[in-house]
Structure 1
Amino acid sequence: MESPSPGRPSDLMFLLSWASHALRAEHAAGMAELGISPRAYGVLLRARGGDLTQRQIGELCGVDKTTMVVTLDQLEASGLARRVPAPSDRRARLVEVTPQGERVLDQARQIAARLETDVLATLPEADREVFLRAIRRLVDERLSGARTSGVAGSVC
């Protein structure tokens, strides 16, 4: 990927892609320190309440069924999460975060928060909230369809 340059015209897809790629790489490096992937972090984060099925978490993360099963297998093998039968539907499995998983998740959240703070510190303080509000609006409104269309990759 070519580096952005001051003379390059604004290209929204290029800029968002570049920013996403760079942020994902830094996030993955931070999560690797804990022995988990960004996807595992996202799954643990969403499973923390213990009231969502693996299918629901997969949908929230934009992860297909097979990838979700592999991710949960890894989390269970590491002792960070477990699947338990849902009381209302014995075929469905709720995902619970173990005490060890809670500790790793707390550390992962600190890493993610530090990264976010560091990245946003690049912007003048007055622009940070405007930027976040604008990107949230794009994701929640105009760009929300990509999460459910099967086009986007994992968001966890």
Structure 2
Amino acid sequence: MKNILPVLQQLISELERYAQATSEIDLAEFAAWLHQRHRPVGDLAGEAVVPLHREPQYLNTLPPLMQLVPLVTRLNYFTHAAAEQLLAGLPIAGIREFSVLSSILGGQTPTKSEIAANAQLELSTVTEVTRRLVQTGLVTEVPDPKDRRARRLKITPAGQAVHTQGKALVAQLSQYLYDPLTAAEQTELHRLLSVLNTVHSAQPLPSPPPSR
């Protein structure tokens, strides 16, 4: 019989950490929380893990302008993968939950719809993320004084403490991602991304081509 004791000890340790982060222990929620903490770094979308350092061979066959989309996509991938590693010790699942927590902290008790617009996430995603944040005691729901049917979200002292810790770790993430650039290159990259962000924030997404 295989020795399961080391894994069992690790599981108990993780369960104790989960219990400290939530007010009510639920097996399904614990399983989801555990999966978030221990899934492979490359498995962000349920796909097979591939070496992060391997550049796609097709990339150099594209014109420079067309290379920008896959390059930005890969950088986004690296950002989420590294963030999950850095934030693994906190009771949040990754950069997405940190972004929602930041939106709540800066939004003065926003609604879920306001968070979705601010964080550029689907409302269903925000609903699921905020549900977990409420269950772990990082966020609380409060009545909307203008609409009895609506609920607003407010960060708790525990949530503020986690956000402070997460903010320091996200600063490390920025250094990890952009330290290969010089200070001047970082400034120029910030300027260019700000221009693109402003333009695309103000215009609608392109329409699909008409069907034939």
State if a TM-score over 0.5 links the two structures.
yes
Task: Provide Cα deviations, 1:47-93, integer angstroms capped at 9, x if missing partner.
Answer: 11433112111221222232222111100111100111111112221
Q: What percent identity do the matched residue pairs reach?
A: 26
Is there any run of 5+ residues in structure 2 with no aligned partner, and where? 1-49, 206-212
Shifted more, 112-121 versus 97-106: the winner is: 112-121
C-alpha separation in 2, matches of 1:69 and 1:118: 30
TM-score, normalization by structure 2:
0.62
C-alpha separation in 1, matches of 2:129 and 2:202: 24
Q: Structure 2 vs 1, CA of residues 110 and 77 (structure 1 numbering), >3 Å: closer, same or farther?
A: same
Task: Provide Cα deviations, 1:101-146, integer angstroms capped at 9, x if missing partner.
Answer: 00000011111111112322110122111111111211221x3368
User: What SS does structure 2 have at the residue aligned with 1:84?
Assistant: strand
1:131-146 equivalences under 5 Å are 131-141=189-199, 143-144=200-201
Task: Provide Cα deviations, 1:9-55, integer angstroms capped at 9, x if missing partner.
Answer: 53111111111111111112222221312221111101114331121
Give the corresponding residue for 2:70.
Answer: 14
C-alpha separation in 1, matches of 2:184 and 2:127: 43
Specify which of 166, 178, 184 is matched with residue 108 of structure 1: 166
C-alpha separation in 2, matches of 1:4 and 1:123: 22
| Alpha-carbon shift at residue 4 of structure 1 (Å) | 5.5
Kindly report the root-mean-square deviation, in angstroms, between the aligned alpha carbons of the 2 structures. Answer: 2.4
Counterpart of 2:172 in structure 1: which amino acid?
R
C-alpha separation in 2, matches of 1:66 and 1:119: 29
- Count of matched residue positions in the alignment of Structure 1 and Structure 2: 147
Give the corresponding residue for 1:3.
Answer: 55
TM-score, normalization by structure 1:
0.83
Taking CA–CA contacts closer than 8 Å with sequence separation of 6 or more, which of the two structures ends up with the larger relative contact order? 1
User: What SS does structure 2 have at the residue aligned with 1:85?
Assistant: strand
Is there any run of 5+ residues in structure 1 with no aligned partner, and where? 150-156
1:3-152 equivalences under 5 Å are 3=55, 8=60, 10=64, 11-36=67-92, 37-49=94-106, 50-141=108-199, 143-144=200-201, 149=205
User: Does the CA contact (< 8 Å) of 2:91 and 2:136 recur in 1?
Assistant: no
C-alpha separation in 2, matches of 1:140 and 1:80: 31
C-alpha separation in 1, matches of 2:179 and 2:121: 31
